[in-house]
Chains A and B, each alone.
Chain A
Amino acid sequence: MVADKNNSREWAVTGMMTDLYQSQRAMRQMRRQAMQRGVVAILDVGSSKIACLVLRFDGTGRLSEDNSIGSMAGQTGFRVIGAATTRSRGVQFGEVTAMQETERAIRTALQAAQKMADIRVDHVIACFSGANPRSYGLDAQVELESQVVTEAEVGRVLNACEVPEYGAGREVLHAQPVNFALDNRSGLIDPRGQLGQSLAVDMHMLTVDAVAIQNIVHCIKRCDLELAGIANSAYVSGISALVEDEQELGAACIDMGGGTTSVSIFMKKHMIYADCVRMGGDHVTSDISMGLGVPAAVAERIKTFSGGVHATGADDRDLIDIGGDTGDWEHDRRTVSRAELIGIMRPRVEEILEEVRVRLDAAGFEHLPSQQIVLTGGASQVMGLDGLASRILGQRVRLGRPLRVHGLPQSATGPGFSSAVGLSLFAAHPQDEWWDFEIPVDRYPSRSLKRAVKWFRDNW
């Protein structure tokens, strides 16, 4: 009875996985089509802004025949031909809360980017930050049928991973094999073609709320676009903000956005952990707005122009007009010293960083060989943030900007665009995911031709 129940549960899980497998594969197929057409749009759906880049892929740009010039971190082969950004509407905490508004904001950004690119875009790759990402580490080990590791064997070992119960209403966003081990040799990046007895794999799986994905997919569908891929923005901003050796040796990328602060930890060029703090720059703004009694737009201006997190003696004498338009002379001539402003901002920034610290501790970040921390995202531009962060998170903190890619306009090179740029790199060179390998035959639905062939081969 118990065994039967267990079996049925496994069946349910398998069915769900197959569905996911199919939809992710469909997106990969769509991405291949987009590559053939050569034009794809990158859409970063954030809480404070929606950025859209239009990429043109013109062949695999090998810089040299003899590999004397490296792959340029995978940024060759495409070019940004259109870029636009618009104020985000209807997105809170990185999740869509008002579909119509979000759809219109996406349309605005896309239309402007298309206009700049002067070409029609049909495929879009999107990223978003919220929806409660949760990381799982999976592993599996199989005995190899033959001595050689083939692609089918890799698929088999990936499918042998025991999928944890990640809950109903959740969806797997990424499932990347991060490490392969063959017999007692570990740390293999690509075991294919090697000889051995047993193959083990470590896989990182990231799940998010299914509803959030469905909302974004729906918004994009309503804009007459095909979704060619979807990614978590913690992951993609790590791709663009971390330099190659940081990704290799271990580093955390903290993308401080408007509504959320996402954390991703990279090791050996793979993301091994991602999480998200549901606080960001907008909360700092609303604190200022409430503390000073000014509208949010004014609070945002004050934060941008005179914000900071370290008060000095001079800041007491540095008075800022906060204005107003009530018609009351006294009210409209209010001033506030910069020290007061810092006094409002600092606790909130500290709170965010403390929260990030908790997530990093939970992930075991201190066990990594290198503990580089890179702050990026729009909210990381607060003056003096790196000093504050190094006191909370650890000594090795730097501010990160996105990688420079071909044709990116100067206005889109700030830290607020690291997830958009990272998504372009992801679009050009996606990492192998679970669904890029063939499902072994016994996982296929019944009446598959391969299954018949296998049966025939086994029995005759």
Chain B
Amino acid sequence: MRQVKRRKLPVLFRQKPVAGPDAAFETGEAGAGGGMRLHGGERLKPPKRRADPAPSRLSYRFQRWMLTPGIRLGLRVGVPVCLVLALSSAFLASEARRDAVNDFVADLRASIQERPEFMVNLMAIDGAGGSLAEDIREVVPLDFPISSFDLDVEQIRDVITGLDPVKSASVRVRPDGILQIDVVERQPVVVWRTRDGIELLDETGAHVKDLPSRKLRSDLPLIAGRGADGHVPEALALIRTAQGLGERLRGLVRIGERRWDVVLDRKQRIMLPTERPIEALERVLAVSEVQDLLERDVAVVDMRLGSRPTIRMTETASEEWWRTRTTVGNGQ
């Protein structure tokens, strides 16, 4: 009978047990020290064989342990963190190494901060007069060139604004390495005479500078009295109202830190009330316009009580008046 087909099964390869030197080679157990002696004098280690495909209890437990989520997290996060902490603390335990690290950091900082892009070379001051600019340079002592990281612009601005003649200031570092300071100066509008001296005040009553003599700024109106600097706007309004008096106006005096007196020449005074002094002054001016009140021999126009304006005549005027009355009386 002819074979139609012949099935070839995959052959199981099982090694026949070897004997003699081959077996020794396979097990590697020939010789005294275990392991067959090789050409170079080394010994052949026997290959490791697993007798059992099953995991040992230990490796089984270990694998289960490693599959536990908490332990895996600990290994993934906790161990590196601990390692880094331990290494860094060991490194920083020595004083010298700590200093070296600090120096290195400081050097790095300096090398970045002192790049020419960040250096400020000079200071430009705009809007300040010569003496004020000098003052500003005096109060902002900077050694140029300086890094813009070391500049505290806010603090410089506060210092400059703290100067009396300065109304406002803006400080900025321009891109080309210039510290630009823009200053708005205070403009004096009134002269304030006190017992201590003469000062110039601006429209808010702030001190601008001291004045050695009134004559230096005779163009500005004069105010006097304690507390007058707190009411400069009111004083300015009164002075504007009293413009009609022209050259006769000498100045304003603050009385008792409460109200104003308008002082005219010929030792005339207009005593104004605390409330609504401008209207009171306008009344006096109106009366004076019509009746030439201030042209007469009047020492004081007392407007302190609005319902009872009072006039005090000068001593000679009143004596003259009495004499005239007496004469008239005698004449009758």
Contact = CB atoms under 8 A, between A and B. Distances in A.
Interface of A: 86, 104-105, 107-108, 110-111, 114-115, 118-120, 223-224, 297-298, 301-302, 305-306, 314, 317-323, 325, 327, 335, 338
Contacts of A223: 60
Contact of A323 (B5, B11, B60, B61): B11
A274 B21 CA distance: 60
A115 B63 contact: yes
Nearest to A316: B1
Interface string B1-25: 1111111111110101000000000
A317 B11 contact: no
A104 B52 CA distance: 9
B9 A321 contact: yes
A132 to B, nearest CB: 29
A120 B64 contact: yes
Contacts of B10: 301
B7 A306 contact: yes
A224 B12 contact: no
Closest CB pairs A-B (n = 9)? A104-B54, A120-B67, A317-B4, A108-B54, A320-B7, A107-B60, A120-B68, A111-B55, A321-B9
Nearest to A104: B54
A243 B3 CA distance: 45
Nearest to B14: A325
Nearest to A118: B67
17 contacts: A104-B54, A108-B53, A108-B55, A111-B60, A115-B63, A119-B67, A224-B61, A302-B9, A306-B7, A318-B5, A319-B3, A319-B6, A321-B8, A322-B9, A323-B9, A325-B12, A327-B16
B7 A107 contact: no
A336 B5 CA distance: 12
Contacts of A108: 53-55
Interface residues of B, dominant DSSP = loop
A108 B53 CA distance: 8
Contacts of A301: 9-10, 12
A321 B68 CA distance: 50
B54 A317 contact: no
Given A104-B54, A107-B55, A317-B2, 12 more contacts: A86-B53, A108-B54, A119-B69, A223-B60, A301-B9, A302-B9, A318-B5, A320-B9, A321-B7, A325-B16, A327-B16, A335-B6
A33 B2 CA distance: 67
A111 B8 CA distance: 36
A327 B10 CA distance: 18
A317 B1 contact: yes
Contact of A114 (B6, B8, B63): B63
Contacts of B64: 114, 120, 224
B11 to A, nearest CB: 6
A318 B67 contact: no
A322 B5 CA distance: 15
B54 A318 contact: no
Given A108-B53, A111-B63, A305 B9 contact: yes
B67 A114 contact: yes
Contacts of A110: 60
Nearest to B64: A120
Nearest to A119: B67
A305 B7 CA distance: 10
B51 to A, nearest CB: 11
B274 to A, nearest CB: 85
Interface in B32-74: 52-55, 57, 60-61, 63-64, 67-69
